[in-house]
Amino acid sequence: MKFEEAAKFGTYISKSFAKDVFRLLNNYRDISASEAASRLGMHIQTVQDFLEAMADLGILDKKEAIERKRPYYRFTLKTQKIVFELDLIEELRNTKGNSIEDSKIREKKNAGVRFSLARNGQYFSNVAIWVGKGRARSEKKISLTTAQGKFLYNLPFPDGEHLSLEEIRVKSGVELDDMPEIKDLVEELIQYKVIEAKSL
């Protein structure tokens, strides 16, 4: 890596949100700036700049996608190691390991969450959660990938039978390769008390 590139890399890697963005990139097969921004609760331009810079440095692969005639970019992590000898795989591995895989889940009672259907009505496109208390209460909106949307569509109801991630994955027809991003979402939603988990 050249010095200028390293300087650029250093500038961005020192950002407080850099690790979170890389974690998303590691978990998701590909992700857009808006999905990442909504997931992290950041401004889209900040994330866009970061992703563009990483793509320029050759760390990310940038692919154009079109939705409703509006082109945008989806970014994929291209390399798992960089010259700084940061082992991204080791660093960004999910801290909770496989614990969620050993649980059965369902929607929590009175989760106070709003699910929005995708255009075709077959999965969810985003989830809106109320975060905070009193006047500080605000809405956090998480944009979902297709796989996540399908998975949540088949999540058992609050009075339904708990199901394992694998059972829901099969029911919703999600591919095994998409499981990291689903686990990431499930962990997040457990934290926000949208999903309840029961040990197997």
Partner 1 sequence: MRKLKPDRGIQGLIPAIVSLLIFFLILIIGGATPAFHVLGVIMIFYALAFGFWSFYKTNNYYYLITVFYMLTCGAFLLLLNFPEDIGSLKSKSNPELKIALLFFYFFAFWMAYVGYRKKLKYRGREVMELAAWDVEVGTETYTERPRPAGIIEHSKYDIIDFGNHLKKNLVCMSFQEENRILLVPIKMGNEFEFLYKPDYNYLSKTWISIDFDGQVSVHISRKDYLDYTDDLAFDHLCESLGQLMITFADFYMRGDKVRIMDRLNSVKMGLFS
Residues that bind partner 1 (CB under 8 A): 107, 109-111, 113-115, 117, 119-122, 124, 152-154, 156-160, 171
Q: Which 3 state secondary structure label does DSSP give 185?
A: helix
Q: Between 12 and 153, name the residue whose CB sits nearer to partner 1.
A: 153
Q: Between 48 and 143, name the residue whose CB sits nearer to partner 1.
A: 143
How many CA atoms within 13 Å lie on the side-chain side of 136?
A: 3
Q: Between 41 and 158, name the residue whose CB sits nearer to partner 1.
A: 158
SS3 annotation, 114-164: EEEECCCCCCEEEEEEEECCHHHCEEEEEECCHHHHHHHHCCCCCCCCCEE
Question: 115 with 103: CB under 8 angstroms?
Answer: no
Question: 51 with 96: CB under 8 angstroms?
Answer: no
Q: Between 58 and 112, name the residue whose CB sits nearer to partner 1.
A: 112
CB of 171 to partner 1, least distance (A): 8
